[in-house]
Amino acid sequence: MAGNTQVAKYDFSKMPEMLTEKLVSVENALPKDFNRARFVQNSIALLNDDPDKYKDFSPATIMAGLVRGSILGLDFFSKECYLVPFGSKLEFMPSYTGQVKLAKKYSQRPLKEIYARLIRQGDDFEEVIINGEPTINFKPKFLNDGEIIGAFAVAIYKDNGLQYEVMSLKELEQVRSCSKAKTSPAWSKFPGEMYKKTVIRRLCKHIDIEFENPSQMAEYNSDMAMEDDPVKLNEIEVEAEANTVDFVPFEVEGDAQ
């Protein structure tokens, strides 16, 4: 059993006070516009919504995950981030929505929009150069539920500038192979969302994002750090090429773009 076995099952009655005190102690690491009362209220609502999910973890373990979200200013109840039980650990994960929120809020070049989309078999996708500037054209097939073959992310700035990132399914699966939570429910049940999160995270590497304090930047960079390790990705590439068995992509069913 993970965590502290002395924790009363489903009893989160002391968590509001404990969480409030903890947030006070890390106040310098929180966003300037952080709403402490709302964060505590929403966090407790999250725990009470599915108490059995967290019953095996100590208050300290739960608290640590919640505080990680608070430092980035992400809300658990609004599904901007998650606490995911995985084996004996409780993993903190920003969601695709959370990644978008952070990019929009902290990009030094004001963003008009940033989003990611899946590319499926049958969709029309091309990269083109117009007046010396690279851009993309994407025409998804109507109600396409075909096999996912890749994903892309686009950042549109208020000055009408554009940046984008494209990743093939092979690249996305290489990233998944590096993930410390590659067999977690997030990857196994919602691969499409994780693909979108992966490509938008890759795009954000090229966006000048400046947080309010070093703690926020450190927390942001810790998310998916291993997946961005070029040495690890190269090891996986070499191993895949050396394997005589054909690469079989991860099968996805019922995931919408």
pLDDT at 183: 78
Query: Do 152 and 163 fall into the same domain?
Result: yes
Residue 253 lies in a domain: no
CB 27 within 8 A of CB 51: no
Residue 51 lies in a domain: yes
Q: Which of 57, 72, 94 represents a domain boundary (last residue)?
A: 94
Query: Do 80 and 172 fall into the same domain?
Result: no
Query: Do 155 and 52 fall into the same domain?
Result: no
Q: Which of 94, 114, 135 represents a domain boundary (last residue)?
A: 94
Query: Do 223 and 202 fall into the same domain?
Result: yes
Q: Across 8-12, 75-79, 129-133, 182-186, which has the greatest mean pLDDT?
A: 75-79
Q: Which of 94, 112, 128 represents a domain boundary (last residue)?
A: 94
Chain segment 236-253, per-residue pLDDT in tens = 444 434 443 333 333 333
Residue 252 lies in a domain: no
Query: Do 108 and 76 fall into the same domain?
Result: no
Residue 65 lies in a domain: yes
Average pLDDT over residues 166-191: 87
Residue 255 lies in a domain: no
Query: Do 208 and 107 fall into the same domain?
Result: yes
Domain range enclosing 20: 15-94
Using CA atoms, how far apart are residues 142 and 118, in angstroms rounded to an integer?
A: 13
pLDDT at 254: 40
Residue 2 lies in a domain: no
Query: Do 90 and 101 fall into the same domain?
Result: no
Query: Do 52 and 171 fall into the same domain?
Result: no
Query: Do 220 and 144 fall into the same domain?
Result: yes
Number of structural domains the chain divides into: 2
pLDDT at 13: 84
Residue 6 lies in a domain: no
**Res. 205: pLDDT tops 70:** yes
Query: Do 25 and 150 fall into the same domain?
Result: no
Query: Do 86 and 105 fall into the same domain?
Result: no
Residue 248 lies in a domain: no
Share of the chain above pLDDT 90, in %: 63
Q: How confident is the model at residue 85 (pLDDT cuts 50, 70, 90)?
A: confident
Average pLDDT over residues 50-56: 88
Average pLDDT over residues 212-216: 96
Query: Do 82 and 204 fall into the same domain?
Result: no
pLDDT at 248: 36
